[in-house]
C-alpha cells in the first residue's frame, strides 16, 4: 500500500480541524484561502532560470550561515514553510522526511527547509518532525523576500489565530506576522533555479513525486 499523498493527509486533517474550531472560524480561514488564490502568485516571485539569491540564515544553534554556503554547489531542494505552528507545514515536512529525503539522497541532492521563525522555533520544527535534513531560520524573511514570496495572514485570520491561542508574530524572529508562501525550489549546482512551485493557498503543498521528477529532469537539460 502506497503512502498517502500530502493532499490526502491535509484533507483528513481539515475534516477534524474544522469540526474542532467550528463553522465561524473555519469560514474565516476559508475566506482567506479564497482571497489568496484570487490574488495569485506575485509577479515578483522568482521562477525557473532565475539565479538563486543569497542571504544570511541561522542554524538551530543560532549560528549564522549563508544560503550559498549551505547549497555549496550541490543540487538543492529548498522548502519555504511558515513555521512549527502551522499544521500543514508539519504534515509536509514529515512527509518529506519519510518519502522525499531518501529519494534525494539516492540522487546526491540535498534538502533544506527555511522559515522566518526564531532559531528555537526552527529547532522545534526539527524535533517535532524528527527531521534529518537541514532546517534554517530566515530572520525578517530576507531570503524569502529576495525570492519574492513573502505574504502575511489577513487581519481576520490573525484575529482567529488569537482566538485559538497563538500569534504568528510570537514565533517569528522579527516579531511580525510576515511569512513565505509555501514554496519549493530546485536549484542546480551552478545556483540556477530549475523548478519553482509556489502555493499561495497554504493548505496546498508540493507533492514528493513532483519534486523527484524535477530533480530527475536536471539530467535531461
pLDDT per residue rounded down to tens, the chain (221 residues): 568 999 999 999 999 999 999 999 999 999 999 999 999 999 999 999 999 999 999 999 999 999 999 999 999 999 999 999 999 999 999 999 999 999 999 999 999 999 999 988 898 888 887 899 999 999 999 999 999 999 999 999 999 999 999 899 999 999 999 999 999 999 999 999 999 999 999 999 999 999 999 999 997 65
Burial 62-101 (b: 16+ CB within 10 A, else e): eeeeebeebbeeebbbbbbbbbbbbebbbbbbbbbbebbb
Assigned superfamily of 6-220: Glutaredoxin (3.40.30.10)
d(CA 137, CA 83): 10
Beta partners for residue 110, in sequence order: 76
In the chain, where the domains are located: 6-220
What is the value of pTM for the model shown?
0.95
d(CA 79, CA 28): 26
d(CA 62, CA 101): 24
- Whether 183 and 173 have beta carbons less than 8 Å apart is answered as no
d(CA 221, CA 215): 11
Q: Residues 6 or more apart from 117 whose CB is under 8 A from it?
A: 83, 84, 124, 125, 137, 171, 172, 173
Amino acid at each position: 500500500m502506497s503512502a498517502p499523498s500530502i493532499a490526502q493527509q491535509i484533507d483528513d486533517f481539515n475534516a477534524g480541524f474544522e469540526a474542532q474550531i467550528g463553522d465561524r472560524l473555519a469560514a474565516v480561514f476559508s475566506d482567506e484561502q479564497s482571497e489568496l488564490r484570487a490574488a495569485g502568485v506575485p509577479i515578483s516571485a522568482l521562477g525557473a532560470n532565475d539565479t538563486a539569491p543569497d542571504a544570511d540564515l541561522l542554524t538551530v544553534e543560532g549560528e549564522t550561515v549563508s544560503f550559498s554556503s549551505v547549497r555549496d554547489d550541490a543540487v538543492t531542494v529548498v522548502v519555504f514553510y511558515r513555521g512549527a505552528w502551522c499544521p500543514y507545514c508539519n504534515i509536509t515536512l514529515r512527509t518529506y522526511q519519510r518519502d522525499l529525503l531518501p529519494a534525494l539522497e539516492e540522487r546526491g541532492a540535498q534538502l533544506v527547509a527555511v522559515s522566518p521563525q526564531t532559531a528555537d522555533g526552527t529547532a522545534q520544527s526539527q524535533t517535532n518532525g524528527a527531521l534529518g535534513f537541514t532546517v534554517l531560520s530566515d530572520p525578517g524573511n530576507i531570503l524569502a523576500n529576495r525570492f519574492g514570496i513573502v505574504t502575511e495572514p489577513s487581519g481576520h485570520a490573525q484575529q482567529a489565530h488569537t482566538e485559538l491561542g497563538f500569534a504568528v508574530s510570537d514565533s517569528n524572529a522579527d516579531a511580525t506576522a510576515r511569512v513565505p508562501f509555501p514554496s519549493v525550489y530546485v536549484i542546480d549546482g551552478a545556483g540556477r533555479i530549475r523548478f519553482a512551485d509556489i502555493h499561495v493557498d497554504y493548505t496546498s503543498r508540493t507533492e514528493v513525486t513532483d519534486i523527484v521528477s524535477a530533480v530527475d529532469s536536471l539530467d535531461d537539460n
